Amino acid sequence: MTTLTVKHPKAKRGGFIRWFLQVGWKHLVALFVIVFSTFPLVYILSTSLTKMGNIENFTLFRQFYLGNYKDLLTSTDYPFVIWMKNTLILAGATAVISVFISALAAFAFSRLRFKGRRPGLLALILIQMFPSILGLTAVFGILSKLTDYVPAIGLGTKAGLILVYLGGSLGGGTYLMYGFFNTIPKELDEAAKIDGATHTQIYFKIILRLVAPVLAVMALLSFIGTFGDYVLASIVFNTNKQYTVAVGLQSLLADPWTKNWAMFAAGAVMSSLPIVIIFVSLQKYITNGLTGGAVKG
Amino acid sequence: MRKRSKNFELYSGGTPSLRGTLAKIFILGIVDAGVGFVLMILFGKQKYGFAIFFAVVALIVNWIYLRRGGLPAKYLTPGVLLLLAFQVYVVVYSGYISFTNYGSFHNGSYTEALDAIQQAAVEPIEGATEYEIKVSKASDGALQFVAFDANTKKIYIGGENYAKHPWRELTSADGLVTNADGYPESITGQTFLTDSQVNDLASTITKIKIPLGPNLDTDGFIATADAFYAQQNRFSYIYDEKNRVMTRLSDNKKFIADDKVGFFKNKDDGELLSEIGWQVRVGWKNFQKIFGDKELRGPLTGIILWTILFAFGSVLSTFILGLALALVFNDQRIRGLKIYRSIFILPYAFPAFLSAYVWKGMLNTQNGFINNTILGFMGDHKIQWFEQQGAARAAVLLVNLWLGFPYMFLICTGALQAIPNDLTEAASIDGASSWKIIRLIKLPLLLVSLAPLLIASFAYNFNNFGAIYLLTGGGPFLDQTLKVTVGATDILITFVYRIAFSGSIGADYGLASAFSVLIFLLIGSISFFSFKRTRGLEELTQ
């Protein structure tokens, strides 16, 4: 709104109107969009700083109380630090391994020609369409079988859940990366080949390095995906020391759900801050990661 | 054919470095060591079938990596294995389950159901004696009931491992010491459990059945429900293993195991012995139920319409907002453009499940931020976000718009920047207005490159479980007269999830799986054909 009331010298008035019609109004639009996209986040930040702790926070930033953060970091009923650690291990391992395995498969689909390549690609897309949430009974069945045979990767173990996450994230990841690998000119491979490179050298030293930023984005997106899962994590883990952030924060809200609202808010702020910062700083590469190179960012 | 051989030449040959070869041997060695370890466990547990299967898979993997050539398999194997285990298997398994009656009443095999029915149906023998008991442990560790009959003052003992510890009367020859009231104080070779030990073992103790004669079915047994009192009980039913018939003792009614429905059923009036049944194949019954059940049809039509509206509305609203913003802010003259962009995508960077909770709190009718601050001017006319159908649906769409527009903004911006500048410059030299350039040049090009992503987004929202489940749980549940629970914001997947996991009449995995198969086919074919169409579109324009 301030742009409107700024007084400009008469001589420049025409210039201002022209500027406003061409560019200036866009700042106004930006202001509206900023309000729309940030007010829930501002609200939750403000709530995390209230002393009352329940949901009735009608005025933003009327207090600056850090107790909720302290409570959450020291609580034994809600061991937030342990949740963060669990989530970091689960989501981190899933992100790294799934990106690595998807990239391997994407290389095959993009660079090698073999029987069943096209049907394979199609199957990859289609298999993702299965409503995975309804496969829960099957997943549970697999894990409880594993618990009998190989307890180290059965129910209640991180390794078991990581395997399940990997199975779920490979198809989409491979397809996106396939699109991106296709945008890298094959001439590079040919040049390397003339220099005597093997296929592994071409893969690791040329292609993977070129797509490194996209790999980072894919890993981040996978991390966020795993971070947000609570259905699987809540059937695999039962004690609050095994919880992930998603399951743990939900348990905070479980009993009369507005009671621990400010503590939840503090947890939401603490757990999302690193993700938001990384996400925004990788912004330049994110469009590529999202669209598999079909659309350039 | 020429192309093919050229391709293989490109990625074969070269001199493998020593480091690479060593790394390969090292990784394969670790994998094989793991396989060996698991095989040992499997053999130890005598799971031979599974062990052989596992060993064969391991051998194939070794063969793939040790032979020359076969390059595609080397790159694909890790992904394919995981995909087979956790995705393909899940789909196939759900497909199989959709032809069974698997659910909370048909949970396991015939023998498991038999066990469960007999465990649950125990009744006291008429005129039976009730004993006060103390639980003790015999020297061999078997749990024993030391039972005191208050009327006759006699004391009995018996318990686990009843071949060795049959039910019998205790005498002073057993080293029995009683107090003044006749209660047992100590017995040679028996240690009484403390109260806390009894508590810990409660589930074992209540399962103990001490036979009163050679035939458990007819002679009855001693059992306890609370570890303080025990009775002479008998099963309510007698099972005839040869004919698979259960006879109810109270009225001698016979129930025959019916493998068509997975229940014990009376032949004449169709009465079921128990609601506990076993898993059987039921053919197309679940699918028939979806298409034919009148009580399901009405609500289901409504749910499907709303699901389509929700998915379509979400894609359209996020796309329009994202596209408009991309058009407006694809302009290098704007100062602070980078900062604006960073702020616009914040909703996308913030973990979605947290957003859902935050919005749920903000939309709370009585105490929420939206009704009290943003819409505070409306005073007491608070919008009942989660209590009315229209408001709840609007809320869900609003939140999904907030969650989704940054994604569309990002991909639209990307697509816009990919449009070559000379195209638009040529048009503006020809005198086209900027609106015309957008409408006639940018939009068509944009739609071509974004169509697959829009379809994917539709498919995603069609099954956007989280957005609905976390925000409204499918509610509000306004029509309480329906046999199945249907909420006003229920999309297909949340509705099916409720059938599968929290049905008011018990979980029905069979029916839920039939639904998932249908959803899979529907979304799969929509995507398949649209992808084909858009790919054609793309080739036409290039």
Supply the DSSP string of B3-58, one letter for each residue.
HHHHHHHHHS-SPPPHHHHHHHHHHHHHHHHHHHHHHHHHHHTT-HHHHHHHHHHH
Cβ distance A217 to A285 under 8 Å?
A: yes
DSSP 8-state class, residue A106: H
Among residues of chain B, what percentage have pLDDT more than 90? 19
Averaged pLDDT, B477-493? 84
Give the mutation candidate from A22, A62, A137, A261 for the B interface (greatest B CB count, under 10 A): A137
- What's the pLDDT band for A256 if we cut at 50, 70, 90? low
Cβ distance B41 to A150 under 8 Å?
A: yes
Cα within 13 Å of Cα(B436), Cβ side: 10
Supply the DSSP string of B263-309, one letter for each residue.
EEE-TTT--BS-S-EE--B-TTHHHHHHHH-HHHHHHHHHHHHHHHH
Averaged pLDDT, B235-244? 81
Of B455, B449, B453, B447, the residue nearest B529 (C-alpha): B455
Is the CB of A104 less than 8 angstroms away from the CB of B79?
Answer: yes
Q: pLDDT by residue (tens digit) across B101-146?
A: 888 788 888 888 888 887 777 777 777 788 888 888 888 888 888 8
B415 lies within 8 A of chain A by CB: yes
Query: Chain A: nearest CA to B356, how far in angstroms?
Result: 10
Query: Residue B164 belongs to what H/E stretch?
Result: none
Residues of A in contact with B376 (CB under 8 A): 58
Residues of A in contact with B349 (CB under 8 A): 275-276, 279-280
- Whole-Å CA distances, B390 to B381, B476, B478: 16, 10, 12
Query: Chain A: nearest CA to B369, how far in angstroms?
Result: 5
Question: What was the pLDDT predicted at B402?
Answer: 96
Residues of B in contact with A126 (CB under 8 A): 524, 527-528
Residues of A in contact with B4 (CB under 8 A): 113
DSSP 8-state class, residue B238: E
Q: Would you tell me which residues 95-134 of chain A have a C-beta closer than 8 angstroms to some C-beta of chain B?
A: 101-102, 104-105, 107-108, 111-114, 117, 120, 122, 125-127, 129-134
Supply the DSSP string of B180-223, one letter for each residue.
TTS-EEE-TTEEEPPHHHHHHTHHHHTT--EESSS-HHHH-EEE
A10 lies within 8 A of chain B by CB: no
A261 lies within 8 A of chain B by CB: yes
CA distance linking residue B43 with residue B56, whole number of Å? 15
Q: Would you tell me which residues 140-169 of chain B have a C-beta closer than 8 angstroms to some C-beta of chain A?
A: none
Residues of A in contact with B415 (CB under 8 A): 295
CA distance linking residue A149 with residue B47, whole number of Å? 8
Domain ranges within chain B, ordered by starting residue: 19-67, 110-278, 292-541
Nearest to B91 among A102, A127, A286 (CB): A127
β-strands B106-108, B277-278 pairing: parallel
Is the CB of A137 less than 8 angstroms away from the CB of B97?
Answer: yes
A4 lies within 8 A of chain B by CB: no
Question: What was the pLDDT predicted at B9?
Answer: 62
Mean pLDDT of chain A: 83
Residues of A in contact with B8 (CB under 8 A): 112-113
CA distance linking residue B178 with residue B469, whole number of Å? 63
Question: What was the pLDDT predicted at B57?
Answer: 92
B376 lies within 8 A of chain A by CB: yes
B316 lies within 8 A of chain A by CB: no
Q: Would you tell me which residues 133-162 of chain A have a C-beta closer than 8 angstroms to some C-beta of chain B?
A: 133-139, 141-142, 148-150
Q: pLDDT by residue (tens digit) across A67-125?
A: 889 988 988 888 999 999 999 999 999 999 999 999 999 999 988 888 888 888 888 88
Range name among A125-139, A237-251, B282-296 with the lowest pLDDT average: A125-139
Query: Chain B: nearest CA to A240, how far in angstroms?
Result: 19
Averaged pLDDT, B439-456? 85
CA distance linking residue B335 with residue B516, whole number of Å? 50
Question: What was the pLDDT predicted at B399?
Answer: 96
- What's the pLDDT band for A42 if we cut at 50, 70, 90? very high
Q: Would you say residue A172 has pLDDT above 70?
A: yes
Averaged pLDDT, B355-380? 85
Among residues of chain A, what percentage have pLDDT more than 90? 21
Mean pLDDT of chain B: 84
For B62, the token pair is: 């070794």
The CATH number of B292-541, from 1.20.1250.20, 1.20.1640.10, 1.10.940.10, 1.10.3720.10, is: 1.10.3720.10
B449 lies within 8 A of chain A by CB: yes
Is the CB of B76 less than 8 angstroms away from the CB of A104?
Answer: yes
Amino acid at position B135, single letter: V
Q: pLDDT by residue (tens digit) across A210-255?
A: 888 888 888 888 888 888 888 888 888 888 888 999 999 888 887 6
CA distance linking residue A226 with residue A205, whole number of Å? 29
Is the CB of B14 less than 8 angstroms away from the CB of A286?
Answer: no
Question: What was the pLDDT predicted at B489?
Answer: 93
Residues of B in contact with A175 (CB under 8 A): none
Neighbours of B386 (CB within 10 A): 21
Question: What was the pLDDT predicted at A11?
Answer: 47
B359 lies within 8 A of chain A by CB: yes
Question: What was the pLDDT predicted at B5?
Answer: 46
Question: What was the pLDDT predicted at B542?
Answer: 40
DSSP 8-state class, residue A180: H
B515 lies within 8 A of chain A by CB: yes
Is the CB of B346 less than 8 angstroms away from the CB of A141?
Answer: no
- What's the pLDDT band for B485 if we cut at 50, 70, 90? confident
Q: What is the ipTM of this complex?
A: 0.86
A17 lies within 8 A of chain B by CB: no
Residues of A in contact with B97 (CB under 8 A): 137-138
Question: What was the pLDDT predicted at A255?
Answer: 65
Q: Would you tell me which residues 19-78 of chain A have a C-beta closer than 8 angstroms to some C-beta of chain B?
A: 22-23, 26-27, 29-30, 33-34, 36-41, 43-44, 47, 54-59
Question: What was the pLDDT predicted at A13?
Answer: 61
Averaged pLDDT, B251-275? 83
Higher pLDDT, B232 or A45: A45
Three-state DSSP class for residue B377: helix
Q: pLDDT by residue (tens digit) across B309-364?
A: 999 999 999 999 999 999 999 888 888 888 999 999 999 989 888 999 999 989 98
- What's the pLDDT band for A35 if we cut at 50, 70, 90? very high
- Domains of chain A in start order, with CATH, are 2-47 (no CATH), 71-291 (1.10.3720.10)
Question: What was the pLDDT predicted at B8?
Answer: 54
Q: Would you say residue A259 has pLDDT above 50?
A: yes
CB within 8 Å of B157: residues ≥ 6 apart: B144, B145, B146, B147, B165, B167, B168, B170, B174, B187, B190
Chain A to chain B Cβ contacts (< 8 Å): 295
Supply the DSSP string of B416-471, one letter for each residue.
HHHS-HHHHHHHHHTT--HHHIIIIIIHHHHHHHHHHHHHHHHHHHHT-HHHHHHH
Question: What was the pLDDT predicted at B17?
Answer: 76
Is the CB of B524 less than 8 angstroms away from the CB of A129?
Answer: yes
Residues of A in contact with B473 (CB under 8 A): none
Amino acid at position B153, single letter: K
- Residue A54 phi/psi, 5° resolution? -100, -165
* pTM (global) more than 0.90: no
Range name among A130-134, A290-294, B172-176, B319-323 with the lowest pLDDT average: A290-294
